[in-house]
Amino acid sequence: MRAFVFGLLLAVSATGCVREPEGPPEVPLLPGGYRLRLDGDRVDPGQFVTEETPDGVRVTNGPGGIVWRPQDTVSVGDFRAEAAFTLVGAPVAYREGYGIFVGGRNLDGPSPRYLYLMVRPTGEYMVKRRVGQATETLVDWLPHASVLPVAADGETPMNVVAIEAVGG
């Protein structure tokens, strides 16, 4: 039986590439039982701040990375992973992406695997698969009317991002 973990993917560069750490990754425990894996080995986990709020989890980050909670695992059957993101303080034309991932395996090991869906505040989305150091683009950045952009400085668009698996 396989177990899949889903979580949040935050502030990955526009290319979606990540650098694999040379040693074992640092996977600190965050509030609410969440785990964190940063993109690269030269970033400070202290720059990635999470806090639980009555509405969910608030993330303030500088470096890119993924956040997940091991208890959010689906072993068999259909599922829907969904998250609402409110972007605060991004200027017009800001291009960093954020979104969710599913199918997470070996997330705290040297060769993580997952499928991810990202949006960015330019009104675009993309879908990629990560296997170890490699990422495969399944859908490259495309505009979509459902992705709310930052149209004026000071706006705080909220985008709901979801991945659904039905029938295996």
The DSSP output letter for 27 is -
Mean pLDDT, 10 residues at a time, over the chain (168 residues)? 44 35 53 78 71 76 79 82 86 87 89 93 95 93 95 90 86
47, amino acid identity: Q
Measured distance CA(168)–CA(161) in Å, rounded: 21
Quote the pLDDT of residue 167: 82
- Position 18 scores a pLDDT of 37
SS3 state at 46: helix
Which pLDDT belongs to residue 62?
67
How far apart are alpha carbons 150 and 17 in whole angstroms? 24
